[in-house]
Structure 1
Amino acid sequence: MRVRNKPWAEPLIAAHPEVISTNPIEFKGNWQARFKKPQPIRIEIGMGKGHFIVEMALKYPEINFIGIEIQRSVAAIALKKALANGLPNLQLVLADGADLNEYFEDGEIDRIYLNFSDPWPKTRHEKRRLTYKTFLQVYRTILVEHGAIELKTDNQGLFEYSLLSMNNFGLVFDGVYLDLHHSDEALENVETEYEHKFSEKGQRIYKLKSHF
């Protein structure tokens, strides 16, 4: 998701260090202190404009959520939404989602959401896919025992690749949905910005739920 640079983004981010962190390394092992109370922590890698993570925090006040985004202007849009809702169980991170083991201690996270990640379709870019084995190893490290990963995508190639990669890594699948919006899973589904746009056009949305 590319968004034109917004002049107001940097001042807004700088003004709210209590909600958005630009140096997440300093909170490694102590993320619970960033929230109103200790609760299971779930993270979204690549939160975009923040619709999913904000709605999840609203829907599940008994869970603490962290949205991670590398693009400053996009993260600032998500920050606006977070501030408008005043959520004590939501934190944002402006940083590269590839460095999770530098931000989180072993077993600090309960669940990971991978929503509409870049499919990196070319074979030579396989190692960049967020379900490649090196990423899965990092996820296993920062997740609690039997911690979960949920993935949603409109890209059939990435979905099939992820099923194979995660199966080979030893993950257990709790749900595989070839048409999310026409399944029972749709009842509790919280859409992302991309998901809403794609589904409005009639595109199929794939989802998988898994755990280590």
Structure 2
Amino acid sequence: MRARNKPWADDFLLENSHVVELEPFDYKKNWSNVFENNNPIHLEIGTGKGQFITGMAKQQKDVNFIGIEVAKNIIVSAVQKVLESGQNNIRLINKNAEDIREFFGESEVDKIYLNFSDPWPKSRHEKRRLTFHTFLEQYQHILTENGEIILKTDNRSLFEYSLVSFSKFGMEIDEVVLDLHNHSDPLNVMTEYEEKFSAKGQPIFRCRAHFK
């Protein structure tokens, strides 16, 4: 469902430019200066309303979190959550992630989260899936040598497609969980979608993978 238009969004984002980076191109290879430390960088592509990234930032205060969300009317909710959390280890980017190499340099990111990405179920839209090989090439470029991708979804078809895509790309799959909420992981932070789907009894799939 499309988010309701928020005519005040532009002004709000501008007022909170200390949270949302409006020109992330300027910080490529320089995110350590933005955070004023050399802590690891974890990236969430499609951060939505920000529940996951704020929860993770509270849990891992020695990690810098960056969330990308293209929808302006949605990212304002994430900004509000960041402000309410009081965490200073979060930055948000209001841009399309078509080529994240525009925002990050080689080996600048330690972990990438793909949470409940659009499955783009039609074959003609395969190239838009965030686990299509052209996206994997970008992830490989910006991830550190031991960096990993963590995927969570309720969509079994996307999950299966992603496992195949990772394997075809020559990645090592480290974990496959077919029902996350019946799997013991006290550190799991749920997204808004995850709460919604889990409440309906839908299994949540998760996998972890890294480049060889």
Q: Which category of TM-score, normalised to the shorter sequence, fits these structures? A: over 0.9
- How much does 1:86 deviate? 1.9
Match of 1:15 in 2: 15
Structure 1 distance, partners of 2:153, 2:22, is 27
Match of 2:152 in 1: 152
Q: How big is each residue's C-alpha offset from its partner over 1:34-59, in whole Å with a ceiling of 9 and x where there is no partner? A: 11422000000000000000100011
Match of 1:204 in 2: 203
Match of 1:189 in 2: 188
- How much does 1:8 deviate? 2.7
Structure 1 distance, partners of 2:21, 2:137, is 24
Task: Choose between structure 1 and 2: higher helix proportion.
Answer: 1
- How much does 1:14 deviate? 0.6
Q: Number of paired residues?
A: 211
Structure 2 distance, partners of 1:10, 1:209, is 36
TM-score (norm 1): 0.97
Match of 1:38 in 2: 38
Task: Give runs of aligned pairs for residues 58-69 of structure 1, distance below 5 A.
Answer: 58-69=58-69
Structure 1 counterpart of 2:152, one-letter code? K
Match of 1:96 in 2: 96
Mean alpha-carbon deviation: is it higher for 149-158 or for 7-16? 7-16
Displaced runs of 4 or more, over 4 A? none
Equivalent residues of 1:36, 1:88 under 8 A apart: no
Structure 1 residue ranges without an equivalent (≥5): none
Supply the RMSD in Å over aligned alpha carbons.
Answer: 1.0
Match of 1:86 in 2: 86
Structure 1 distance, partners of 2:104, 2:74, is 22
Structure 2 distance, partners of 1:31, 1:5, is 31
- How much does 1:2 deviate? 2.2
Structure 2 residue ranges without an equivalent (≥5): none
Structure 1 counterpart of 2:149, one-letter code? I
- How much does 1:75 deviate? 0.6
Structure 2 distance, partners of 1:101, 1:32, is 16
Tell me the secondary structure at the aligned position of residue 172 of structure 1. strand
